[in-house]
Amino acid sequence: MTDNYKYRLTSKNFAFLLIATMQEVTILQLPGKAAEFAGNDAWLSILLASIPAFVSLFLILKICARYPRLSLGELNDEVCGVYIGKFLSLAYILYAVANAAVIIRLFSEVVSSFLLVRTPCWILTLVMVLTVTYIFSRDIRAIAWMNEFTQYLLLAFFLLFIFLVSKADYHFLLPIGDAGVKNILLGTQGAFFNYISPEILLVVYPFIENKKEILKAGSLAVLFSVVTYTLITIFVIINFGGTLANIFVWDFLDLIKSYQLPLVERSEFFTAIFWSWIAIRSSSNELFMARHTLAKAAGISGKYLTYIILALAGFVYGLTLIPETTSETQTYASMVGFAGMFFMLGLPVILWAVSALRGVRET
């Protein structure tokens, strides 16, 4: 267990890491959120909401190119000085842990509502926390490879959703743009948060071997998410319509539930397995980012990393127990989303501006 940069990532590994961190449990309610304002044009809001992610990648690369050997925990100190740097690192760690906690809690609620109705939520979150603890205690390469392998399986699983078009009414999509530009833009609000994650590049940049390929790999990863989200939204809209999509809490899951497959009839069994992976992967990745930033900011390595991992696991479990209802969890999810927007767009700008003022050039 070590966090030195012996464990190199390829740009392809990074792409899979980014996809896995970006795609999390809130995909299940993404179409409904976008449809709140944009109605049947929700898919256009999903497309537009991806723009900040591309901008973020560009900004982060600008700042990381100046400090190619530094991860976020060291970068903050180097650019902003020890006190502000440590404060920013701590804020990022809190954000990453809170993000993981929200994902874990939300998914536990999904499992509790759809599969294990009588099992208390705290038991499910405990199982999730123990699982992600094992995963984020591994080195970055193992995590990236796990993400890569599961992504292929998930892709095969997504292809099965082709059956979701069998009872669809394509007229729901027409006329395109009927909701109006203002509503489509308002619809992006709910979707922005699903594109948060490029900030992980601030943490993993020193691990990546071919830095020239990062922008291409990162952009492809975001594009992959854009396509996935748009397809999911279109599936929901053509089946339920924008109005109904907005009523369901977990609209995509409700859509899957409403279909019957040949032989197995209902596909929730497989959906539960694959969606668990999505939630586990994104929370594990977030916690790895927190662990690495904490280790770098505090200058901890070797066997003391075990204590960091255990402390983060305990902390994240504590956070998952705070919300009392699903709507409360959603409120926390929004707060974490806003924080995420700051780390995705605000922090790179601040770091870039300060380093520019200090006259540091790209290497």
Partner 1 sequence: METNLVLLKKELGQSPQFVFRYYTKNLCLVYNRGFANENIINRDILPHLSLIFQGELEPYQIPVAEVIKTSNLEQVAQEISKGYTALIQDNSIDLYLFNTKGLEKRAVIEPPTERTTRGSRAGFIEDLETNISLVRSTLNTPALTVEYFTIGELASTKGAILFLDNVATPDIVNEVRHRLKNIKVDNILATGEIENHIEDHPWSLFPQAFGTEKPNKVAANLAEGRVAIMLNGTPYVLLVPALFVQFFQGVEDYFDRFWVANYARVLRFAGLVLAMTITPTYIALVTYHHDLLPFSLLLSIAEIRREVPFPPIIEALIIETILEMLREAGLRLPNPLGQTLGVVGGIVLGQAIISAKIVSPLIIIVVTISAVASFMIPNYSASLGIRLVKYPLMLLAATFGAFGIAVGLILFITHQASMESFGVPYMAPLAPTRLRDVGDSILVSHTWKMKNRPASIPHQKDQRIADSLQEHRQK
Binding site for partner 1 (CB under 8 A): 10, 12-13, 111, 115-116, 119, 124, 127-128, 131, 134-135, 138-139, 141-146, 148-150, 152, 263-266, 268-270, 272-274, 276-277, 280-281
Nearer to partner 1, 150 or 194 (CB): 150
Least Cβ distance, residue 136 to partner 1 (angstroms):
10
Nearer to partner 1, 243 or 260 (CB): 260
Least Cβ distance, residue 173 to partner 1 (angstroms):
31
Distance, in Å, from the CA atom of 1 to the CA atom of 305, rounded to the nearest integer, reads 7
Nearer to partner 1, 56 or 329 (CB): 329
3-state DSSP call for residue 265?
strand
Contact criterion met (CB below 8 Å) for 288 and 140:
yes
Least Cβ distance, residue 276 to partner 1 (angstroms):
3
Residue type at position 172: F
Least Cβ distance, residue 124 to partner 1 (angstroms):
7
Q: Give the position of tokens 């998952």.
A: 320
Nearer to partner 1, 264 or 310 (CB): 264
Nearer to partner 1, 13 or 56 (CB): 13
Nearer to partner 1, 48 or 106 (CB): 106
3-state percent breakdown (helix, strand, coil) of the chain, nearest 5: 80, 0, 20
ω before 206 within 30° of 0 (cis)? no
Least Cβ distance, residue 306 to partner 1 (angstroms):
16
Residue type at position 90: L
Span between the terminal Cα atoms of the chain, in Å: 30
Which residue spans within the chain are E strands per DSSP?
A: none
Least Cβ distance, residue 253 to partner 1 (angstroms):
13
Least Cβ distance, residue 284 to partner 1 (angstroms):
8
Distance, in Å, from the CA atom of 338 to the CA atom of 317, rounded to the nearest integer, reads 22
DSSP 23: S
Helix or strand (DSSP H, E) at 306: helix 304-320
Nearer to partner 1, 154 or 184 (CB): 154
Helix or strand (DSSP H, E) at 173: none
C-alpha distances in Å from residue 8, one per residue of 141, 143, 147, 200, 244: 7, 12, 15, 15, 47
